[in-house]
Chain A
Amino acid sequence: MKRWRTDGSIGRRGLIALLAISLSILASERGAVARAAPKPRATWSQAKLDRVGAYIENEVQSARIPGAVILIQQHGKPVYFKTFGVRDIIERHPTTPDTIFRLYSMSKPITSVAVMMLVEDGKLRLSDPVAKYIPAFATTRVGVDGTEGNGQPTLRLEPPDRRIAIRDLLRHTSGITYGFYGADLARQRYSELDLVVEDWNNAEFANRVAKLPLAEQPGTLWDYGHSTDVLGRIVEVVSGQPLYQFEKKRLLDPLGMRDTSFYVTDKAKWPRIAQPMPDDRLIAPFVPITDPTRVRRWESGGGGMVGTVGDYARFCQMMLNRGVFGGRRYLRAETVAAMVADHVGPGSGIARDYYYFPGDGFGFGYGFAVRTKLLANRAGPLGEYRWDGVGGTFFWIDPKDDMFVVFMAQTPNERGRIQSDLRELIYGALVR
């Protein structure tokens, strides 16, 4: 991919021309799918789109982020695609369309799609118990906080009311949690996973998770955790291949997601890796951002991938096209529909607590948060689905407007504010 600067050295026309080349394959997707109903034709205010760029440019100029890239794509064509700043404030290579970003939790939708492909193959059922594939889960217990007579907190272990199903892993209702938030004792046990020294593979990692107490009974609470890492192991057991190999053959290579992987093994690509500001490199207290050049055995389906805006755009367009991209079908339309339907809503028996990260107005499908309610003060139509990563990347797919947005930067600190502001700016630029 040719490098260019976007600081005015080439005009918008030149930029769009380059975009047209780099994303031409995406454009060809338009029309591949019959639309369900005629949609109100929305148009874009160029002046307001320019404010999107001005906002990101200001983030760069005021040194909050080194650089970023954004793609707004509608009806299969880029509406707005621009790179900003540098990928590394020290080396000062400009951000380019092929800059590689840590995707963190944006790995989860990819892993979830891989799982659903195996479901379509008939090799896996959503209702299957996880223990069918990872026997260690047959004995997993639920941890219940209590207190001893002397007031000391204790963790009591109870049998689960029902077995964890594949569906629970996809919608984060397994009871498997993360160790880095919350104060209850089961969650604290998960922080043991953070102090591992051994270079575990996915099988070993899943077995360790199985030994930890669940934070609550399966199917009772949306609880963000290592569920998608366990899914990654199930993909391996069912497919007989390492997670990456399966995803590469069935999804990444056919889609043309050439730079999406768990580690950057090709040294020639190392200069393309985006780095956060030097003072913005912790993703949690005392937890540094990962180094994707350091190859480990673990392939974390929950958060281990890196990728580029172009790669992730292909994934989004495939989803928006209800499973088709480049003339190839990856998922059936009804599978995509199931993935982006709410499975944790009223009547599901699934509670939401303070840590319901999908947020107000969103339910959760299989790997994606799904808009179920319009909110007066926040933009976004019903049916949009989305997720993001702690490193500073986010995407959303909006079937109503036939569009999606992918934003990539590396900024654990500033990501929340930027995502929220850009959503408002982008929907503000869409004139209905």
Chain B
Amino acid sequence: MLIQRSMRVLACGALLAAGASMQPAYAEGTFEIPAGAHFNPDKLAKIDAFFENEIKQAKIPGAAVLIRQHGKPVYTRYFGVRDVVTGKPMTPDTIFRIFSMTKPITSVAAMMLIDEGKLKLHDPVSKYIPSFADMKVGVEKEGAGSAKELALVPLKRPITVLDLMRQTSGITYGFYGDSLVRKAYSKADLFAGDPTNAEFAERIAKLPLQEQPGTLWDYGHSTDILGRVIEVVSGKSLYQFEKERLLDPLGMVDTAFYVRDSAKHKMVAAPMPKDSDFHVGYIGDAITPHRREAGTGGMVSTPADFSRFVAMILNRGTLDGKQYLSPKAFKDMTTDHVGPNSGVERDWAYFPGDGFGFGLGFGVRTDPGDAKPPPPGDLGELKWDGAGGSYFVVDPKQEMTFLLMEMTPTERQRIQRTLKKLVYEALEN
């Protein structure tokens, strides 16, 4: 029924693309390359060519790509400009809205409280936000005429912190899908009046759940609620807690929910002027001060900052001698929690994608997937991305990470996929 949204950007991309420059490059074995692979610099140069062409064709203003292996930078490029209007160059300290790449940060913050014993994965969310005790699940049934109606049924079990972290709470988003519950989300004006995290959680608590907790991986506002739980448990605002415990110690100085320092406003990356609808249900920006600190998608960050976070994840929760996550917490976060015996189903909107399970805040590569040959990468890969196109991959097997930062809602999927392919095609034994 969503066909009508379908005819997106048809011919123009096709006609603007470069000529027949693709050389046959048979990708053999970009899945599970034996450990110890190293990068062929000549093949990495194809990434240059790819992004330079994207910019030349005016698909994107610019992008940052950082590949690291064995703790050292292998490939660091700042392509194009951060804003086509100002023409200012892309730099390590260019500030991007990272959208859903906020979720892994919020999830790590929650795990730090779990490490301290202040929060448990199996705690009901209602222990911290009492109104969640009364939530109901919205079930569609036939109403009068051809219209469907929502019947509200009680929870079979309470929503837990684990459900929030692995996206199985039944809380959804209102900006995709066609169910009555998602429609109710869309109509609820959730963002009106710049709510605090506490107020936002109350608004969610009033909406029906899309399905029973623990039954479906359903991308939604769960991580926003997790952010509120962190506030309740820590007694601090989400940002203050993250700043003190994670962002400042890691040196993520420009990572926040908006850019406070007006001198840095000029560092903000802008999408192409006509490619500025991020399809996330609200219109935001990086610089307007606001109260809501959205743990699900509200942060801004820089290539320099986020590469610190990525390095900490590759290092299993420690960086520069400081431990952020215990080994157990790290293992919990990077283990698939929605696999075959979890009782959690996957539908068309299973965004972790082919070959991936989901840990606590990250997609986790668990199997080759359905595609043949399998998509590139290694088992154990951790990853996530954001609606603006930012994207990171942590490959423990190759001791390798890569980070992409860009602002393009329409081109992101293609660019992310191509970058990953080029990265793995450049790995040789």
Contacts and interface: CB of A to CB of B under 8 A. Distances in A.
A179 interface: yes
A303 B2 contact: no
Given A55-B20, A194-B5, A282-B413, A356 B12 contact: yes
B414 to A, nearest CB: 5
A290 B14 contact: no
Given A55-B20, A197-B179, A369-B11, A284 B5 contact: yes
A223 interface: no
A355 B277 CA distance: 14
Given A415-B14, A420-B17, A104 B3 contact: yes
Contacts of A128: none
A421 B27 contact: no
25 contacts: A58-B25, A62-B25, A62-B26, A62-B27, A178-B5, A179-B4, A181-B277, A183-B277, A194-B2, A196-B1, A198-B147, A226-B4, A277-B371, A279-B353, A279-B371, A282-B413, A284-B410, A286-B279, A287-B2, A358-B11, A359-B11, A359-B16, A389-B10, A414-B414, A421-B20
Nearest to A201: B146
Contacts of A354: 274
Contacts of B177: 286
A46 to B, nearest CB: 17
A128 B7 CA distance: 27
A90 interface: yes
Contacts of A191: 5
B15 A178 contact: no
Nearest to A413: B414
Contact of A355 (B12, B349, B370, B371): B12
B7 A224 contact: yes
Interface in B400-429: 409-410, 413-414, 417, 421
A428 interface: yes
What is the predominant secondary structure among interface residues of chain B facing chain A? loop
A304 B3 contact: yes
What are the 7 A-B residue pairs with the smallest beta carbon separation, nearest first? A286-B176, A359-B15, A416-B13, A278-B354, A420-B17, A419-B14, A285-B279
A355 B274 contact: yes
A384 interface: no
Nearest to B18: A420
B158 interface: no
Interface in B250-290: 274, 276-279, 283
Interface residues of A, number: 81
Interface stretch (A69-77, A160-168, A234-242, A294-302): A294-302
A156 interface: no
B19 A420 contact: yes
Contacts of B19: 377-378, 420-421, 424
Contact of A229 (B4, B16, B147, B182): B4
A284 B22 CA distance: 25
A358 B278 CA distance: 24
A197 B4 contact: no
B365 to A, nearest CB: 12
Given A90-B370, A178-B5, A180-B8, 15 more contacts: A105-B7, A181-B274, A183-B274, A229-B4, A283-B6, A285-B410, A286-B349, A303-B4, A303-B7, A304-B3, A359-B15, A390-B7, A413-B413, A413-B417, A419-B17
Contacts of A63: 27, 371-375
Contacts of B283: 183
A388 interface: yes
Contacts of A105: 6-7, 10
A378 B27 CA distance: 29
Interface of A: 54-55, 58, 61-63, 66, 89-90, 92, 104-105, 178-183, 191, 193-199, 224, 226, 229, 277-290, 296, 298, 300, 302-304, 354-362, 369, 377-378, 386-391, 394, 412-417, 419-422, 424-425, 428
A352 to B, nearest CB: 11
B331 interface: no
Contacts of A283: 5-6, 8
Contacts of B25: 58, 62
B178 interface: yes
A394 B178 contact: no
Given A55-B22, A62-B25, A193-B4, A183 B276 contact: yes
Contacts of A355: 9, 12, 274
Contacts of A300: 3-4
A204 to B, nearest CB: 10
Interface centre among B20, B375, B417 (most CB of A within 10 A): B20
Contacts of B4: 178-179, 193-194, 226, 229, 300, 302-303
Given A62-B25, A195-B178, A287-B5, A357 B10 contact: yes
B24 interface: yes
B274 A182 contact: yes
B14 to A, nearest CB: 4
